[in-house]
Homo-oligomer: A and B are copies of this chain.
Amino acid sequence: MSLDVLLEKICEKQNPTVAGLDPKLEYVPDYIKEKAFAKHGETLKGAAKAILEFNKGLIDALYEIVPAIKPQAAYYEMYGHHGVKTLYKTQEYAKSRGMYVITDGKRNDIGSTMEAYAAGHLGKVTVGGEEYEPFCADALTVNGYLGSDGIDPLIKICEQYDKGIFVLAKTSNPSSGELQDKLIDGMPIYEYMGNMCEKWGEKLPGKYGYSGVGAVVGATYPKQIAKLREKLPHTFFLIPGYGAQGASAEDISAAFDKRGLGGIVNSSRGIMCAYKKEGCDERDFAGAAFREAARMKKEIMSIIGNITLS
């Protein structure tokens, strides 16, 4: 009913970071692409198979030190249903390695349509007399623009299957303020959305003080992180924008409470393309990803110190 499992994995690994798996085809080492294309052609299926191999290599390299992955749905959908199959296979593989899976889909709709997204991404779906898990994420990012009609169906599925959601509050992009910083009765919209997360989260209380309704808060806005941490004591943060988008470990320090809990920091390109930045052999892409993940863990933990659940 909450994000407890994620918090436990973060504590176990002493690492509040998540590897974003946003696999542009240009990130995939040539030798993997060549093998996939030889078998499946230069096709959407070939691309999807190459990405799956890349992801599996990254997961194998990371699962011992990184608690979670965050695949970004867009990079899978762009290869059609073949890509969506790779999204599922990636989730399944990460789960088999004990990782927590956050699907970054920013889904949003209402009523029975939101139920369909919730059942598909976080729950189970019945066909005739059989039950299936079409995807197998532990949490899903969602957009709250439609209000409670869009969130309530998710809450129900989270209760039923012990899952969580992250609602967009203050996103990491430069233009996020166009709407999110506008004031409603003197309160910025991102804070208003954060308050709704606190309210929605009451239905999904967690053992460690954080509910099953988290918020997405960009690392690129350190002041807003500090303000939201103060005002939203039960809302866990998913923090994009670290590294490639320019934010540092100090920028995100205010997200964490005295126990070192409070948020999980995403790095996508930094980890996936570490082999390019290092300039090592592309066949060592997984080793380079591990080294970058270890460096990032060390950098962030140097700010946090230690993580405990109590």
Where the two chains meet, the residues of A that have a C-beta atom closer than 8 Å to any C-beta of B are 22, 24-25, 33, 37, 42-44, 46-47, 72, 74-75, 77-85, 87-88, 106-114, 116-117, 119-121, 125, 127-130, 132, 134-135, 143-150, 168, 171-180, 182-185, 189, 192-193, 196
12 additional A-B residue pairs with CB within 8 Å, beyond A81-B84, A147-B176, A179-B192: A37-B128, A42-B127, A43-B130, A44-B125, A47-B127, A74-B113, A79-B120, A81-B81, A108-B143, A146-B179, A147-B180, A149-B174
Output the nearest chain B residue to A113 by Cβ-Cβ distance. Answer: B74
Partner of A182, one of B143, B175, B192: B192
The CA-CA distance from A132 to B135 in the complex, in Å, is 25
Known: A108-B108, A146-B176, A184-B182. A120 touches B42 (CB 8 A): no
The answer to whether A42 touches B128, judged by C-beta atoms less than 8 angstroms apart, is: yes
Residues of B within 8 A of A134 (CB): 44, 77-80, 83
Residues of B within 8 A of A111 (CB): 173
Taking the nearest CB of chain B, how far is it from the CB of A278, in angstroms?
A: 22
Residues of B within 8 A of A172 (CB): 110
- Count of identical protomers in the assembly: 2
Partner of A116, one of B74, B178, B183: B74
Residues of B within 8 A of A110 (CB): 171-173
Interface centre among A81, A87, A172, A180 (most CB of B within 10 A): A81
Interface centre among A25, A129, A134, A185 (most CB of B within 10 A): A134
The CA-CA distance from A229 to B285 in the complex, in Å, is 54
Taking the nearest CB of chain B, how far is it from the CB of A146, in angstroms?
A: 5
Residues of B within 8 A of A25 (CB): 127
The CA-CA distance from A106 to B141 in the complex, in Å, is 13
The CA-CA distance from A108 to B108 in the complex, in Å, is 9
The CA-CA distance from A47 to B147 in the complex, in Å, is 31
Partner of A177, one of B84, B129, B147: B147
Partner of A78, one of B74, B77, B120, B192: B120
Residues of B within 8 A of A120 (CB): 74, 77-80, 83
Which 9 pairs from chain A and chain B are nearest by CB? Answer: A42-B128, A80-B134, A147-B178, A78-B120, A147-B175, A81-B85, A74-B116, A149-B173, A110-B173
The answer to whether B189 touches A175, judged by C-beta atoms less than 8 angstroms apart, is: no
Taking the nearest CB of chain B, how far is it from the CB of A167, in angstroms?
A: 10
